[in-house]
Amino acid sequence: MPQIPIIMPQLGESIAEASIVSITFSVGDHVEIDTDVFEVETNKAIMSVTVPCAGLIQEITAVVGESYPVGATLGFLEISDDDAKRLGVDDAPKPIIEKKASPPKKPATEKETSWKSSVEPTLRGLPVPAHAEGASFLSPRMKARMTELGLHSADLAGVAGSGANGRVTIEDLEAFLEDLERNKITPASSMRVAVADAMRRSWTRPLATVVLPIQCDIMLTHRKNQPLKAGPALYALRALAIALGENSAIAGRLVGARIIHPRSIDIGFAVEAADGVLVPVIRNADQFRLVELVERYNRLVELARARRLSARDTGGSIATITNYGVFGLTMATPIPLPEQTLLLGMGVGQITPHWDKEKNSFVPITEAQFTLSFDHRVLDGGAAGRLLLRIKELLNAPEQL
């Protein structure tokens, strides 16, 4: 009977590879169409690899714990003639797939081995392409050595160069690594490496932050009276979506001498996950009322914490909301993702005295510091301030959300 390979699919934009977490069936098992055969993990989520039709698992070439690129053959499925005809598969001999084997390795020092396992970078599911130029004064030999060890020029920030004009030499690098070996070293997860890479690339832009205290009592009273209670972050997300829907240019990206306006108001929100932060996205957030977004928001939070977000639930957002107030922080200067211009942050609500002109006395109010971090190339402090003021206006009129 004809056979087809079980292929590692494209699991999301820019996902280059995934690791096998578990294999749910064995050789000889019969599976139905769209059955989950492999559970795989990227730095964004845990996903499943399914089969395109019913059949008999004849061979499994993938190994749990190994990483495979998109398009790699994970096994073979024996299928019926009808399915083969439908899929356009010829009844040809099975292609020879070279199984993964451990090639002979050249002797490596303990130093090289530990660094390769602890800081080796990866392209697994990075939010944007990871290509970036190195430092200006790196010789070809230095670049080759750093590539071998999985290091970037930012990793040399603590190295004092002994070469001409402060250039870091290969000897400086080796001495630096040798000194680091005296410390405790633990492997960096793929998510941590991806977050570090994204933040490094974000920091290549001129970023600025403006701050505005916003009274939250009206919003909190409105929330208390709703059958479906949205969290403060969702209120802020909806307010930001409305404001950007009124003027999308301020969320545009500067590419060359042009501002690229967003096609839709897709807003992300930060969710803390194991060893990193994931950013689920609510699409067309300006087109839905607040009450219509509550269940969708809560579902995405649960999926993010379980690292089971689908590809359509991440990526492509034009701005992000982060509620660092849940950690008791009053103010922070968060960094927008590389492909975004804006990031709205919320501090913890605090009871503060407020002068009431009508009562001619101070009254207690709940107030939180809101920060807007932005790409200073795209907008200036005035535009950022006006955007924050519009968000304040909307939060104090929650019936408009």
Delimit the domains of the chain by residue range. 3-87, 110-195, 206-400
| Percentage of residues of the chain with pLDDT beyond 70 | 86
Contacts of 220 (CB under 8 A, 6+ apart): 232, 349, 366
Q: Determine how many CB atoms are found less than 10 A away from the CB of residue 25.
A: 16
- State residue 277 phi and psi, 5-degree precision: -130, 130
Which helix (H) or strand (E) element contains residue 394? helix 381-395
The more confident residue out of 144 and 23 is 23
- State residue 37 phi and psi, 5-degree precision: -100, -40
How far does the chain reach from its first CA to its final CA, in angstroms?
59
Topology of domain 206-400, CATH: Chloramphenicol Acetyltransferase (3.30.559)
Give residue for tokens 């714990």: 65
pLDDT (average), residues 68-78: 90
Q: Which two tokens stand for residue 368?
A: 């939180």
Q: Is pLDDT at 359 greater than 60 in this prediction?
A: yes
pLDDT (average), residues 276-280: 88
pLDDT band at 158 (very low <50, low <70, confident <90, very high): low
Q: Is pLDDT at 70 greater than 70 in this prediction?
A: yes
Provide the whole-model pTM. 0.65
Q: What is the pLDDT of residue 193?
A: 78
The more confident residue out of 349 and 108 is 349
Question: Among 121-135, 258-272, 350-364, which stretch is predicted with the lowest mean pLDDT?
Answer: 121-135
Q: What is the DSSP string of 318-352?
A: SEEEEEGGGGT-S-------TT-SEEEEE---EEE
Burial class (CB in 10 A: 0-12, 13-18, 19+), 305: middle
CATH of domain 3-87: 2.40.50.100
pLDDT band at 110 (very low <50, low <70, confident <90, very high): very low
Strands 319-323 and 342-346: parallel
CA distance 20 to 66: 6
pLDDT band at 322 (very low <50, low <70, confident <90, very high): very high
Residue 345 β-bridge partners = 322, 371
Q: What is the pLDDT of residue 194?
A: 79
Task: Identify which of 23, 201, 192, 50 has the alpha carbon closest to the alpha carbon of residue 124.
Answer: 192
Which helix (H) or strand (E) element contains residue 23? strand 17-23
In angstroms, how far is CA 177 from the centroid of its own chain?
Answer: 29
Q: Which of 88-92, 103-107, 230-234 has the highest mean pLDDT?
A: 230-234
Average pLDDT, the chain: 83
| C-alpha to C-alpha distances, 356 to 359, 365, 366, nearest whole angstrom | 5, 10, 14
Q: Which of 64-78, 261-275, 366-380 has the highest mean pLDDT?
A: 366-380
Q: What is the pLDDT of residue 282?
A: 96
pLDDT band at 78 (very low <50, low <70, confident <90, very high): very high
Q: Is pLDDT at 132 greater than 90 in this prediction?
A: no
CA distance 156 to 190: 20
pLDDT band at 90 (very low <50, low <70, confident <90, very high): low
Residue 68 β-bridge partners = 18
- Give me the helices (H) in 203-289, please: 217-224, 232-246
